[in-house]
Amino acid sequence: MSASTIIGAIVLIAAGALLLIFIVWRKRVPASLRRIRAYDRLNRDVGLSVESGKRLHISLGRGDLLTARNASAFAGLAMLRQIVERASVSDRPPVVTSGDSALTILSQDALRAGYSAAGAEEDFRVSAGRLTGLSPFAYAAGALPIARDEGVSTHIIIGDLGVESALIADAAERQGASLVAMSDGLSAQALLYAAAPDPLVGEELFAAGAYSGAGMSHEASLNAQDVLRWLIIMIMLAGAALTILGVNF
């Protein structure tokens, strides 16, 4: 086994252990999350869209489930399930778009779970989870008519997207709709920083479940992430100090 594989295994085991420890801890001590304006807006906009009888559009991106870029899709699905549970009573049910067919199927499943949790399973429509295109621009082009024609008041972009996210953000702006956007891609993060009023960058995307009420496992994840982040910072500082002192490793 190579050194990098051993380090990878240690990080994985440490992360798993931390996650389980924090889940047990969170059962005893409730989490207190710092305020993130974008998530405040998200929760407010979901409520407003239900009250005003408008539609929510949740764009899950193109996270291919067979590649390493799928984690943001899973984070989006966790949030989707919570949002749909709250928005299922709306006159206009939420629409979910994605650019990967397996993700579309999972989004339909998350929609069904959300309706079921709200006790409104009969209102679930499989057509609410849509595949709009399989290439980046086909996906964006398929999502644009939804922004224009379907009375959407809030667009939520969460997942693995690239520069095409700017087209969806622009369509939201043109229709005067609210926009909450986050992505794991660096180019999309840079674009959405400029396009969204309250941008979310870096790992803030993975806090979506915790901030939308997906449960203590998501809050425990954030705790484990914090511990690991501090560990990495300390290791990086130690490495820099050792390099300055002339220690080669």
Pick out residues in 91-150 that bind other proteins (CB under 8 A).
100-102, 104-106, 109-110, 113, 126-127, 129-132, 134-135, 137-138, 140-142, 145, 148-150
Cβ neighbours of residue 198 under 8 Å, at least 6 residues apart?
Answer: 37, 38, 41, 180
For 46, 50, 59, the CA distances from 54, given in Å and listed in that order, are 10, 6, 16
Q: Given CA atoms 210, 213, 217, 220 in this order, what sign does their dihedral have? A: positive
Q: Does 33 engage in binding with other proteins (CB under 8 A)?
A: no
Q: Is 198 exposed, middle or buried (0-12, 13-18, 19+ CB in 10 A)?
A: middle
Amino acid at 167: L
Amino acid at 36: I
Q: What 3-state class would DSSP assign to 97?
A: strand
Q: Considering CB under 8 A, how many residues would be counted as binding other proteins?
A: 79
Other Cβ atoms closer than 10 A to 185: 20
Least distance to other proteins from the beta carbon of 225, Å?
Answer: 5
| 56-75 positions binding other proteins, by CB under 8 A | 65-66, 68, 71-72, 74-75
| 224-243 positions binding other proteins, by CB under 8 A | 224-225, 228-229, 232
- Among 78, 158, 181, 188, contact with other proteins (rule: CB under 8 A): 78
Category of 58 on φ-ψ map: left (φ > 0), alpha (ψ -120 to 50) or beta: beta
- Among 87, 158, 161, 166, contact with other proteins (rule: CB under 8 A): 166
Shorter beta-carbon distance to other proteins: residue 51 or 186:
186
Residue pair 176/47 in contact by the 8 Å Cβ criterion: no
Least distance to other proteins from the beta carbon of 46, Å?
Answer: 19
| 194-223 positions binding other proteins, by CB under 8 A | 194-197, 201-207, 209, 217-218, 221
Interacting stretch for other proteins, rule CB under 8 A, among 27-35, 48-56, 169-177, 241-249? Answer: 169-177
Amino acid at 214: A
Interacting stretch for other proteins, rule CB under 8 A, among 12-20, 27-35, 36-44, 48-56? Answer: 12-20
